[in-house]
Amino acid sequence: MNVLLTNIKELLQIRDASTHLLKGSEMKHLPTLKNAWLLIEDDTIVDFGSMMAQPEGNIDKTIDCSGKIVLPSWCDSHTHIVFAGNREQEFVDRINGLTYQEIALKGGGILNSAEKLQLTSEDDLFAQSAQRLEEVMKLGTGAIEIKSGYGLTTEAELKMLRVAKRLGQTYPVTVRTTFLGAHALPKEFTNKKDDYVDLICNEMLPAVASENLADYVDVFCEEGYFSVKDTDKILSAASKYGLTPKIHVNQFNSIGGVAVGVKHNALSVDHLEIVSDDDIRELQHSNTIAVALPACSFFLSIPYTPGRALIDAGIPLAIATDFNPGSSPTGNMNFVLAAACIKMKLTPEEAINAATINAAHAMGLSHTHGSITKGKKANLIITKEIPSYGFLPYSFGSNYIEQVICNGELV
């Protein structure tokens, strides 16, 4: 089946096939075509151009995009969308003065989610997660990374990853999966962290690999969670199974997580709310992309990733939602786009690049996603009638998405 989009007010993020990553001043440029058409065949973008030279031939379906902007769907490269229940009481606890770390020390936080998930059946977990996925797809997300990490036992971690894989097989959205057994220390391993790290390396990782459940490996490298030494050990073990790192670093403290990520050739280092000069130098001499999570900063009232400084230092930057029940209970990439502009001082062009082509790179998908390129997946957002693409982050409280196409299908 082919679908023709016509009278597009402006077609955003037009790139040739060789562009997979933008950094520094490159992020300020967003190539567009006004008064355009775009042709989809099955799940692929096959051609586009000016309305002055509209394609001829049989068209199965035509969508009139008069007054509307068309751009690649968002790529959300950091989520924990597979979880059970919610943590709304902790939201109230924070309002009453407790910090994220204090809640965790009381047995809340990640351990709270792990307890709920361990008691939830795989089918129930799928149903809850599918509802969230359907919501974010309608908000424009066409590719998503999903982490484990709320299981903290071998059985529960595998259950999470199976659900994530099943979501990708059920819905017309591209899913990448990440094993995050090192998300928190289970209660039964209190004062026995080395034993839990050994369990991750010697039992969990082989089990994940044997079922081919993960594309990436992650570690929460932070004070009170997993040290640089722990992270180095887990990433070394994961390399034996071909799992590339995408790791949590510098959410609350800069303890050397960026350096260990770069050492292991991490695809991305995520969070980076606290960034030192040494961290910037490490990233400048690496192939690792920085991923900012501004919705988490908003929800926890912690510093925002210094996106302006990172871009000005020539470091590639992506943005993602961090959708999870405790620190970022939203999968709305449109809000993330606005927060990146408002709080991190990105221009609309930089933010859109960070949420599309660079975000695709941060999940290993920039050869198929993230831009309007012939041969790439037909993952598209069609806006409502708006004056310009800058209106999207400007009008952050409204939804100006009219239609979403994922892998050639209207969702």
Name the helix (H) or strand (E) containing 381.
strand 380-385
| 118 annotated binding-site participant | no
- 20 assigned binding-site residue: no
R_g of the chain, CA atoms, integer Å:
21
Could you give the CA distance from residue 172 to residue 181 in angstroms, rounded to a whole number? 27
327 appears as a binding residue in the annotation: yes
Whether residue 176 is annotated as binding a ligand: the answer is no
Q: Tell me: is residue 80 an annotated ligand-binding position.
A: yes
Please report, as a single letter, which amino acid is at residue 234: I
| Helical axes 333-344 vs 348-355, angle rounded to 10° | 140
Check whether 150 is labelled as a binding-site residue.
Answer: yes
128 appears as a binding residue in the annotation: no
57: left (phi over 0), alpha (psi -120 to 50) or beta: left
191 is in an annotated binding site: no
The answer to whether 23 and 54 are in contact (CB under 8 A) is: no
Contacting residues for 220 by C-beta, under 8 A, at least 6 apart: 149, 180, 182, 183, 184, 226, 247, 248
DSSP labels for 315-370?
--EEE---BBTTTB----HHHHHHHHHHHH---HHHHHHHHTHHHHHTTT-TTTSS
Query: Element (H or E) spanning 163, and its range?
Result: helix 154-170
- Spatial contact of 97 and 112, defined as CB atoms under 8 Å apart: no
**78 known member of a binding site:** yes
What is the helix (H) or strand (E) element at residue 62, kind and residue range?
A: strand 61-64
Residues of each annotated binding site for Fe(3+): 78, 80, 248, 322
Residue stretches of the annotated binding site = 78, 80, 87, 150, 183, 248, 251, 322, 324, 326-327
Residues annotated within a binding site for 4-imidazolone-5-propanoate: 87, 150, 183, 251, 327
Binding-site residues for N-formimidoyl-L-glutamate sit at 150, 324, 326
Give the annotated binding-site residues for Zn(2+).
Answer: 78, 80, 248, 322
